[in-house]
Amino acid sequence: MARTSGPVHPAAAIALLGQSLWLDYIHRDLLEGGELRRLIERDGIRGVTSNPTIFEQAIAGSAAYDAAIAELARTGRDARAIYETLAVEDVTRAADIFRPIYEMTGGNDGFVSLEVAPDLAHDTEGTVAEARRLWAAVDRPNLMIKVPGTPAGLPAVTRLIAEGLNVNVTLLFAVEVYERVIDAYLTGLEQRARSGQALESTRSVASFFVSRVDTEVDKRLEARIAASPDAAERSRLEALLGGAAVANAAVAYQAYVEGFSAPRFRELMAKGAAVQRPLWASTGTKNPRYSDTLYVDRLIGPDTVNTVPPATLRAFQDHGRPVRTIDADVEGARRWLAGIAAVGIPLREVTDFLAADGVKKFADSFTSLLGAVEAKRAGAPG
């Protein structure tokens, strides 16, 4: 593929269009070797997100943490306490590296996200308690606590926002759920305002998972294609492959525009409140038939964040197309989703499945992570 032409660096161009690139990756080597600073300076990265799967890959998949695990093991800490200590250390260091970005942008960027334990996804009180504890442990204004957008997570979001914590609402797939996320955020701000607290420093993003939507919809479409004896029907089904995720995100962006242009938010904005930006997550392309920059190129727009894995960042910097696209064809996006429903694949059924599956996958990663830490802890010299 051809390299992006013109004098403007892709990261600079995307920033001019109102989007921030965050890195969907964290590793101790990234922090200690200076690479994170280079990504900020060279590639325009303006934040970092983490999750249990990322920490599992970092801690279990390398020796970078082994010495720290051995040292913590000698203090008698169990695997969960060791993991949390390591995660808090990494996130704190990353937050310090991003602090100049946070200050330069007036608190709009420079955030590092740390997720509450996945086994709390259905526990409001447990989520609130852990979020408070992690917030105090990191003790940086540019921390975001990740809370899943589950029925139990949304009341926690409201309470944490009311207390002034920054919240990354994660594992979002359905536009209908996102509308409830917006309400949870605004309710938290309203409660905070009524208590006489300032709104200016409280920030939130709503993390929409993208590529997983195509993966699941395509799987269902391909099963129907394989089972259909009718060539015309197969052609109609094939035309729907690879478009559900971007269409879903485009409709979600319209929910953002409507929610944050309404009088309810304008009243809060007059008191210093910031919008809750949509964040596009899971933007690494999983299907090799699709462009490796698909979920960056097609999701660019004002007041958004795209959190990219390292390989996707490299691909976008090489041949991405920094053009505003998120609202280029909203009616076309709605027609695409209607077309999927018309062939018997209701998107809400897909997104409900993905939300439940997402919680399970993070819980499985967390269990695997704790198992790996325990194995390293048990094998550490006494």
* Tokens 């593929």 found at: 1
DSSP string, 292-343: TTHHHHTT--TTEEEEE-HHHHHHHHHH------TTS-HHHHHHHHHHHHHT
Decide if 146 is catalytic: yes
In contact, 330 and 298? CB cutoff 8 Å: no
On the CB side of 51, CA atoms within 13 Å amount to 25
Q: Is 223 left (phi over 0), alpha (psi -120 to 50) or beta?
A: alpha
> Which residue among the candidates 146, 219, 271, 361 is catalytic per the annotation?
146
Residue 84: C-alpha distances to residues 72, 108, 167 (Å): 11, 27, 18
**Catalytic residue IDs:** 146
